[in-house]
Structure 1
Amino acid sequence: MKGKEGESSEGIAWELRPGGMLVQTRSDAAGGPGGPLVKIRVSRGSCQHEVSIPSQTTFGELKKVLAPETGLEPQEQRLLFRGKEKDDDERLHMAGIKDMSKVVLLEDPASKERKLQQMKWDQGMLRACEAVALVRAEVDKLVVKVGGYPVILEICRLLFVF
């Protein structure tokens, strides 16, 4: 007989698995749905991060957890365990990660190159905006000098949107 949702009258919680099998819900003492928590030491250069995460988590999910701490988006991260890069869909416990295991985080070289290109492009845009500002200032000075010529003012307005 059912009492609360997912619980029988004896207090046992049940869950329906995707295959249609009805099984008893694991308690938190058993590690919860993601397995037992493992503490992972993640090193990135001279920075060290410690993350507690369920052992059945994937490396892709670990990257999402690390993103706010490291400032790197998940697609910019490369995680190495025992000297080998791990795929995003590989599970931690299947790779051999145990409590206090060490994982190395590297920034993807392609993302470094993209960031460098973006910085160069931004600097070029900044220089272009400064040049436009100088031209506008010069035009403003000329507009004051030729203030009596409305036709010239209209042409300047059309050429340089004020």
Structure 2
Amino acid sequence: MIKLRSKRFCRSSSKLSGGSGNGNKIKGGEKGCCGGISEIKWELRPGGMLVQKRDTGESVGEGTITVRVSSTVSKWHDISIEATSTFGELKMILSLVTGLEPGEQRLLFKGKEREDGEYLHMVGVRDKDKVLLLEDPATKERKLYGLAGDQPIGAPLHTISV
């Protein structure tokens, strides 16, 4: 963090007194304004941009957030994860909870499928946001064919001999 000092400059907010016409000026808003020195805190963003640091609690992208992951209509998981994590890391955690391998998972946030390398905070995931978990249809299909064994696609799974 870089600390720079800046001097605040302000205009005097002079107004003519309302309706008197005698030219007396009422000065307001100057108390503590001109000549005061305030301290501005700066931060260096990952892209190399120097910006004024936000004073509102935690900065965006810092700390642990809770993400609600919905896998079906009635089933959901609350996952605590760092805001600077990737969707790939979230998939790794979900694989422990759901039993689906990370390659079998598809994560949707704000209606779009997210790639493994995308960062949660860069996409806009905040505390208590919802993410939808879907099983990859190709994987689901492979599992179904794996259960069917050697039978052709059009053949029934079980044959009854008379």
TM band (smaller chain): 0.5 to 0.7
Picking from 116, 124, 141, the partner of 1:96 is: 124
Matches within 5 A, 1:84-123: 84-121=112-149
Q: Does 1:74 align with 2:106?
A: no
- How far residue 121 of structure 1 moved from its aligned partner, in angstroms, is 1.4
Picking from 57, 62, 68, the partner of 1:41 is: 68
- How far residue 35 of structure 1 moved from its aligned partner, in angstroms, is 3.1
Matches within 5 A, 1:1-162: 35-45=62-72, 46-121=74-149
Higher helix share: 1
SS across alignment from 1:79: strand
SS across alignment from 1:119: helix
SS across alignment from 1:51: strand
Q: What CA distance in whole angstroms lies between the structure 2 residues aligned with 1:56 and 1:48?
A: 22
Q: Which amino acid aligns with 1:39?
A: T
- How far residue 122 of structure 1 moved from its aligned partner, in angstroms, is 7.9
Q: Deviations over 1:98-150 (max 9, x none)?
A: 00000000000000001001111189xxxxxxxxxxxxxxxxxxxxxxxxxxx
Q: Deviations over 1:27-67 (max 9, x none)?
A: xxx79xx8300000000112110000000000001000000
Q: What CA distance in whole angstroms lies between the structure 2 residues aligned with 1:109 and 1:39?
A: 27
Q: Number of residues paired by the alignment?
A: 93
Stretches of structure 1 lacking an aligned partner (at least 5 in a row): 1-29, 124-162
Superposition CA RMSD, Å = 2.2
SS across alignment from 2:65: strand
Q: What CA distance in whole angstroms lies between the structure 1 residues aligned with 2:97 and 2:107?
A: 15
